[in-house]
Amino acid sequence: MITAGAMTVPSMISCGGGAKASKKEIGLQMYTVREQLTADFDGTMKKLAAIGYNSMEAAGFSKSGAGYQFYGKSPKDYSKMLNDLGMSPISSHTVFELETADAVCAAHVEAGCKYIVYPFLPEQYRQNLDGYKSTGERLTKLAEAAKRNGLQFAYHNHNFEYTEMEGQVPMDVMLANSDPTLVKMELDIYWIVKAGKDPLAYFDKYPGRFELWHIKDMTNDEEKFFAPVGSGTIDWAKIFAAREKSGMKHFFVEEDKTKGDVWEDITKSYNFVANAKYI
């Protein structure tokens, strides 16, 4: 496993195209290219490898008549393809519940994943603080299943978890009611900033809990739309300076939506990260 500290290895930058430009671990959340993956999975993965991305977070786990699959491939075939391209299948965004937890986690282990990430909290669980409290307790049970199968569990935030409710922040309620050794966080930097909260304050309050990050930037206008990393308003130098306190071990570039060409955007993000000396 490449730790946050290991990512300080000096990069070998070729600013022209980015292919294999850096020794850093630079991950991508595959949701960013979901349409391209649907149209041509193998070709899309080869293009990502050519840019230089060398670790992946999946967003295409499902069950079919052939069993559990990642993007229509068996866990072993998915893992082999990524490894053949020089990529590590670090994690996967997967909604699962207790009754299927062991089987789902076993498939992720077979695929070579280290983390299984609960990606989104359905609306019925966020009607009140009791819903967030019970969610924290439920996440701990899911995390126990993950640990039993050799995985680290994490929860991925959006902005709604930071909207105050009854004088409290729901995310704080979830964190207080889940086991900090079992339930880690995948902090989406864009969404916490969009919610008006300071990620550094959360690193101070819950040190070591944020082992995964999503990094994407924010446009400097009223819309505050998604943008390639390094092209917007987020102070990445300040945030990465606190990565040890946060506990960050892996990060993934993501862009939920793009108004331009997705390949241009993810290449911009890659080149910025590869060139940034503080990453």
Over residues 32-88, the pLDDT tens digits come to 999 999 999 999 999 999 999 999 999 999 999 989 999 999 999 999 999 999 999
What is the average pLDDT value for the chain, to the nearest integer?
93
Query: By C-alpha distance, which of 257, 78, 181 is closest to 94?
Result: 78
107-147 confidence digits (pLDDT tens): 999 999 999 999 999 999 999 999 999 999 999 999 999 99
Token pair of 39 as six digits: 């149209």
Percent of the chain with pLDDT over 70: 92
Query: By C-alpha distance, which of 269, 238, 231 is closest to 252?
Result: 269
Let me know the angle formed at the C-alpha of 186 by 174 and 42, rounded to the nearest 5 degrees: 140
Band of residue 23 on the pLDDT scale cut at 50, 70, 90: confident
Token pair of 254 as six digits: 């993501």
Token pair of 223 as six digits: 């819309």
Does residue 193 carry a pLDDT above 70?
yes
Does residue 6 carry a pLDDT above 70?
no
Does residue 30 carry a pLDDT above 90?
yes
What is the C-alpha to C-alpha distance for residues 14 and 1, in angstroms, rounded to an integer? 25
Residues 6+ apart with CB under 8 A from 169: 161, 162, 163, 197
Burial class (CB in 10 A: 0-12, 13-18, 19+), 154: buried
Q: Which residue has the tokens 């069993």?
A: 67
229-278 confidence digits (pLDDT tens): 999 999 999 999 999 999 999 999 999 999 999 999 999 999 999 999 99
pLDDT given for residue 22 in this prediction: 55
Token pair of 259 as six digits: 């108004």
Does residue 221 carry a pLDDT above 90?
yes
To the question of pTM greater than 0.85 for the whole model, the response is yes
Angle, in degrees to the nearest 10, between helices 75-84 and 41-51: 40
What is the C-alpha to C-alpha distance for residues 277 and 202, in angstroms, rounded to an integer? 24
pLDDT given for residue 66 in this prediction: 87
Q: Which domains does the chain have, with CATH numbers?
A: 5-12+33-253+263-275 (3.20.20.150)
Query: By C-alpha distance, which of 9, 6, 3, 2 is closest to 277?
Result: 9
Residue 40 burial (CB count, 10 A): 11
